[in-house]
Amino acid sequence: MADSSTATFVLIHGGGSTSWDWHLVAPVLKGLGHEVVAVDLPIEDPANGVGEYADAVVEACAGRPNLVVVAHSWGGLVAPIVASRIDAELLVFVTAMVPLPGEAPNDWWAASGFSDLEASESEEDQFYNGVPAALAEECTARGRAQTGERDGEPSPLKAWPDVPTRFLLCRDDRFFPPVFVRAMVNDRLGFVPDEIDGGHMIALARPRELAERLHRYWTELPR
């Protein structure tokens, strides 16, 4: 029987990125007694869509106990598909996109209200505020081309998974601003998001605080 004090955190990165985004969070989670699976989504293959991205995550965590699915940013479109295909104990969105069942990724931007926002800062400032310069540069260098050729197709998510769900809003996020996120989460998930200091790339800016919050979410689950 699996030890209920130990979770397997399944970490899903954002768009155009890699599992490296979680490289500072993973050792903290391990130090708290957990297992970690961080997956590189197969985003560079134009034959793949969100369903295939989810398949890659499901395959990577097969046979692991006490699964907690954690998604950052664009990875939020993948996470509920994963949670609907595995025996997940918890689903956590970290300043992430929350899809509706059947919603095409390309449709999220307008349907969520994000397209109505006006950006007043550079993309670098929107994403990397609070991140040490060397980490920001390495993250950018490690970025991958995400083809998105199938992002116009409806999501294979048929219904929201019956899994306890948390949303962590980043108070200093300049890409998904708190005012937008609170409204989006209330509209799509029906609850008020939790909050933490930090910008959009919180896993690089405040990895310990993020890991400790994820650990707390696990310990707060009813047993």
pLDDT in tens, 127-162: 999 999 999 999 999 999 999 999 999 999 999 999
Query: HSE of 106 in the Cβ direction (CA atoms, 13 Å)?
Result: 9
Q: Which domains does the chain show, CATH number per domain?
A: 8-220 (3.40.50.1820)
pLDDT tier for residue 3 given thresholds of 50, 70 and 90: low
pLDDT, position 117: 87
pLDDT tier for residue 124 given thresholds of 50, 70 and 90: confident
11 has pLDDT over 50: yes
Q: Which of 78-92, 111-125, 141-155, 199-213 is predicted with the least confidence, judged by mean pLDDT?
A: 111-125
